[in-house]
Amino acid sequence: MWLNELSMTDRLYYRDSFLYDFDAEILELSGNPRPALVLDRTAFYPTSGGQIFDTGVVSTEYKRLNVTEVVDTEDGRVVHYLEAPLGDLTPGTRIHGQIDATRRRDHMQQHSGQHVLSAAFVRLFNQHTVSFHMGDDYCSIDLDTPTLTKDQVEQAESLANEVILENRPVDIRFVTRDEAASLGLRKIPVAERDELRIIDIREWDLSACGGTHVKQTGQIGCILLRKTERVRQGWRVEFVAGQRAVATARRDFTTLTESASLFSAHIYDVQQQVRKSLDEVRSLRKQREQSQEELAAAQAAAMLAETPESSGRKLVVRTFADRDITFLKLLAQKLTRLAPNVVTLLATTSPQPSLVFAQSAGQPNDMGALMKGTMSKLGGRGGGSNDMAQGGLTGAEGVKAALNSVAQSLHT
């Protein structure tokens, strides 16, 4: 895709994370697969080291093109992907670049927040960060530790926020690999580069890192730790920093407030209210089951009493309009156990059209086969054993007629 093998990009963000505007010259262009260009110098950060790319605008006197993604190539180019076709741009064209400052500031808050937090976990519990992920909503670090308690999370959060409050300087330093070895870095990359870029949070953390960072820890604002979960390598800790932390806390508060208003309760009582409601639901469910049981028993007795015996057998056929299949099965069970000579064909048309066929133990029919036959006529699915079978339908049409037709077949 790129023809010139020597077009390395000068990364302006390496020296100044707060450089949002810059002038540059186009070195290479490509329209395939997406419009893209490589500049001689750039302030746009390409996705790398856990940090996601900058977006922004590249413009000439006549043109303004949105930069939608920025990537790092293995051979040292920073590729800017553009929304619109390149038009008359050519190598040598001078452009003005402008990155989305709000997005960049957010990324700096998250990334510097991560350095402060990772160092806090090391200092407090000797728990080392093995990976960092920055998403659009939240960030996470993976800690190399077999256990992580709620108390440890809260202590690390508290210490990290203290370091933010102390407003320590954050410096960018370039050192040789040998120098780095003597500095006691929290993290040294494996890449074989002679010069290392070090992010130095005064007397707190030294890490080799290519990311964009704040100038003072106070600019991180604050850090809020959220979900923790066990992962393959240890524990994942989700966090948000700066304005993201405020936005997240705002969203949490809104959710909690709306939940509280559903209960007409104070937000701090939501938990208790939810627990109370769940207990109520559980107890009502139990009561309902018992009522259903009693109702089925009473109804079965009444149905049997009003069904005449014919050829030594009672055939009970009934279609309900408002029972569920659980009740039909319960009723069938009661009916066939109340007497030894019962055959019953039950159906309900709503809420979910369903059929249940059953017979007392020892009766000679095959209810499973009858159900299968009926279902294939009605276009539903079902089956079962000799004594008990059930089926379900998408529509209630023809249910009554089908039941009558099965009843007829049993009479002959």
Q: What does the binding site for Zn ion look like in residue numbers (CB under 5 A)?
A: 209, 211
Q: How far apart are CA 372 and CA 360, in angstroms?
A: 19
Q: Report in angstroms how near the CB of residue 112 gets to Zn ion at its nearest.
A: 8
Name the residue nearer to Zn ion (CB basis): 96 or 133.
Answer: 133
CB of 214 to Zn ion, least distance (A): 12
Q: Which is nearer to Zn ion, 204 or 327 (CB)?
A: 204
Q: How far is the CB of 179 from Zn ion (least distance, A)?
A: 19
Q: Write out the H or E segment, with its range, that includes residue 258.
A: helix 243-262
Q: Who's near 333: CB < 8 A, 6+ residues apart?
A: 296, 358, 388
Q: Which residues have C-beta within 8 Å of that of residue 49, sequence separation ≥ 6?
A: 132, 209, 210, 211
Full DSSP string of 227-244:
EEEEETTEEEEEEEETHH
Q: Closest approach of Cβ 84 to Zn ion, in Å?
A: 33
Q: Copy the structure tokens of residue 293.
A: 């049981």
The least distance separating Zn ion from the CB of residue 239, rounded to whole angstroms, comes to: 14
Indicate the DSSP class of residue 269: G
Which residue number, 211 or 382, has a Cβ lying nearer to Zn ion?
211
Query: Looking at beta carbons only, is 196 or 209 nearer to Zn ion?
Result: 209
Q: Least distance (Å) from Zn ion to the CB of residue 132?
A: 7
* DSSP state for residue 3 in the 8-state scheme: -
Nearer to Zn ion, 110 or 390 (CB): 110
The H-assigned helical ranges of 126-171 are 150-165
* CB of 80 or CB of 115, closer to Zn ion: 115
Name the residue whose CB lies closest to Zn ion.
209
In which element (H, E) is residue 25 found? strand 21-30
